[in-house]
Amino acid sequence: MPTRRQFSALVFLLAFGGAATEPAPAQDDQASAKIPESISRALSSSDHRPVHIVYVHGINQIGAGDSSTLRNAICGKLHLCNKKDWKYAGSDFPGKGEFAPDSDPPKLKYLGNDIWKTRDEWWHAAPFVAHYVIRLKGYSSPLVVDEINWWPLVLALKCEYVVSSEASLAGPNKGLLQVCSRKSSQDPDNIGRFYPWLSETVADRLAKMPAHAVLINRNLKNGLEDWGFSDAFIGVGPLAGIIRDGLRQLMVESASFDPNGADDSARMRYDWKSRLASGNTTDQTFIGVTHSLGSYLLFNTFNLENPPFKAAAELSQPAELLQSEQAQEDGAIQYFFERMSIIYFFANQLSLLEFTNLELTGITGEAAAPATAAAAPSPRRFNALVSRWGQYRQGLQRRTNVAGAPPTSAQIVAWNDPSDLLTWLVPQVAGVQVVNLQVRNAIHWFWVFESPLGAHDNYAQNKAVLHVMFAKQ
């Protein structure tokens, strides 16, 4: 039995992270491989092209602004800017397909109940991309952070069917009950979109329920497991197609974003389509930064194994219009990944989530299928989706065939704290170089304990991680 002092120390470490230390390379991977690209190198281009960090948040998100940790660390840890230098340049929302104005909500059900019951609820569930712009010290190229927010799409499920039921089992989480019962519109400071999925009356009643689980277990279950890891199950189920459609439309908006625009909001329309057609590689550079589940969702934008979700209002649209919209999204995806040479993973669940994509290599039943009839690998599988990225990079080089074309290989640099409960090594993928690196994100308590939240959340503010991303010695 732990003493009261030991118990107090554990509670403290659960609540707070800790100082990070230097990264250690994973012993079972190509840790000695060079990392050819960095954010600093991209910002140092002679033609001063804009550099975009496409940031996709992971599980456990509440509200917009998850990229603020990375943005503030670039200023505070690397001393390349002042935090006040970041300019919020507006947000964009999807507006086609199931996200078209006045569309009825998708008819998805949970235990027989509609997830979204009204158009107003569905409107508040739309994902969005927030744009932030800065010019760092010593660099003339503008740096853009395109922060993709998909968290509104999962709030209805988590608020109505997880947070509310957990209040009577483990005990109430008053902070999450407040989030689930608050309503605000998208405001100028980009706080986020919220909706009262639970009425104030219900939330107040649940908040008064007695706690049944012990403190640490209750906090871990309410937070990291119920509010956080539930996102992983939602993200690989039927809702994954809707999240994919939203992210594809947001990538169109990000490709169109021009940080050199003359208007105050810097949201001029950039002509990426002509650049894509010409194979021009010197117009913009994209670097992916994903946290946790965000890595899976980013690559899922390639996945068209199943047709995009069709809202009732969309079914009446002409086929030519739908094909045009599909072609525009496909073009934006190609434009992004052709010009993206590296993606940084801050923790990932890819190896675990691939259990949902096991391949069927034969037909079961009375007669076994012959070997020639073995099912082809599903394009939904992670390695097939990532390989498409490598193919885009190689295809661009073949089309341009000029000096200065991007390298044929694309690269994933995956950061993993071994004490992070929700990260796994990324397997090798054909056509893409994968480097797994280890890092410590929080203080170790005599090699017995490390804050689970600190281990999972502190990648973006770990100076050792930042030094690799910006090629700092």
pLDDT, tens digit (0-9, with 9 covering 90-100), for 64-92: 899 999 999 999 999 999 999 999 988 89
| Among 241, 287, 295, CA closest to 97 | 241
Tokens standing for residue 8? 């107090």
Contact present, 160 and 197 (Cβ < 8 Å): yes
Average pLDDT over residues 261-282: 71
- The β-bridge relationship of strands 340-346 and 410-416 is parallel
Average pLDDT over residues 145-166: 94
What are the E-state strand segments in 217-266? 257-258
Binned at pLDDT 50, 70 and 90, residue 156 comes out as very high
* DSSP character at residue 76: H
pLDDT at 307: 46
- Between CA 224 and CA 231 the distance in angstroms is 10
- Between CA 227 and CA 163 the distance in angstroms is 8
Residue 141 has pLDDT above 70, yes or no: yes
Q: Tokens 């956080």 belong to which residue?
A: 228
Tokens standing for residue 239? 């809702």
Residue 157 has pLDDT above 60, yes or no: yes
- The β-bridge relationship of strands 285-291 and 109-110 is unpaired
Share of the chain above pLDDT 90, in %: 44
Average pLDDT over residues 116-124: 93
Residue 205 or 33, more confident: 205
pLDDT at 153: 95
Average pLDDT over residues 351-359: 83
Backbone angles phi, psi at 152, to 5 degrees: -60, -25
Highest mean pLDDT among 45-49, 147-151, 467-471: 147-151
Binned at pLDDT 50, 70 and 90, residue 31 comes out as very low
Least confident segment among 59-63, 223-227, 406-410, 411-415:
406-410
Average pLDDT over residues 308-317: 48
| Among 314, 175, 183, CA closest to 245 | 314
**Domain parsing of the chain, residue ranges:** 4-150+228-354+375-469
| Among 378, 435, 471, 315, CA closest to 31 | 435
Q: Tokens 């991303």 belong to which residue?
A: 469
How do residues 372-390 score in pLDDT, each as one tens digit?
333 333 445 788 888 888 8
Please list, in sequence order, all residues whose beta carbon lies within 8 angstroms of the beta carbon of residue 69, skipping any fewer than 6 positions away: 460, 461
SS3 206: helix
Binned at pLDDT 50, 70 and 90, residue 229 comes out as confident
Residue 171 has pLDDT above 70, yes or no: yes
Binned at pLDDT 50, 70 and 90, residue 215 comes out as confident
pLDDT at 163: 93
